[in-house]
């Protein structure tokens, strides 16, 4: 969990809460390893789903940027 906190900049309580929800949903599993705990994605298709969502968001953002540029060009006419 420490790595997640460092990578995301989120607080420990916030990360713990999200990991708990992900565990309850069956998206991640929790494995104690000595004094540490390791979390693992349960199904590799999760990565494909995340990639699809990110790709779609990028396309939508690009579309919105183009629309904004068109509106700004019209304002300058």
Q: Which residues contact 11 (CB under 8 A, 6 or more apart)?
A: 5
- pLDDT tens digits, 21-77: 999 999 999 999 999 899 999 999 999 999 999 999 999 999 999 999 999 998 887
Q: Are residues 27 and 5 in the same domain?
A: yes
Domain that holds residue 61: 43-77
SS3 for the chain is CHHHHHHHCCCHHHHHHHHHHHHHCCCEEEEEECCEEEEEECCCHHHHHHHHHHHHHHHHHHHHHHHHHHHHHHHCC
pLDDT value of residue 77: 77
Q: Are residues 1 and 22 in the same domain?
A: yes
Query: pTM of whole model > 0.85?
Result: no
Q: Are residues 72 and 62 in the same domain?
A: yes
pLDDT value of residue 71: 93
Q: Are residues 38 and 71 in the same domain?
A: no
pLDDT value of residue 76: 81
* 4 vs 76, more confident: 4
Q: Are residues 36 and 54 in the same domain?
A: no
Residue 47, token pair as written in the block: 């990565």
Q: Are residues 8 and 38 in the same domain?
A: yes
What is the number of structural domains in the chain?
2
């Amino acid at each position: 969990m420490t790595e997640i906190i460092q990578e995301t900049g989120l607080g420990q309580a916030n990360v713990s809460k999200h990991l708990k929800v992900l565990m309850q949903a069956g998206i991640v599993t929790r494995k104690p390893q000595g004094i540490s705990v390791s979390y693992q994605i349960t199904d590799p298709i999760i990565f494909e789903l995340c990639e699809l969502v990110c790709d779609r968001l990028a396309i939508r953002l690009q579309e919105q940027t183009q629309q904004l540029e068109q509106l700004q060009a019209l304002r300058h006419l």
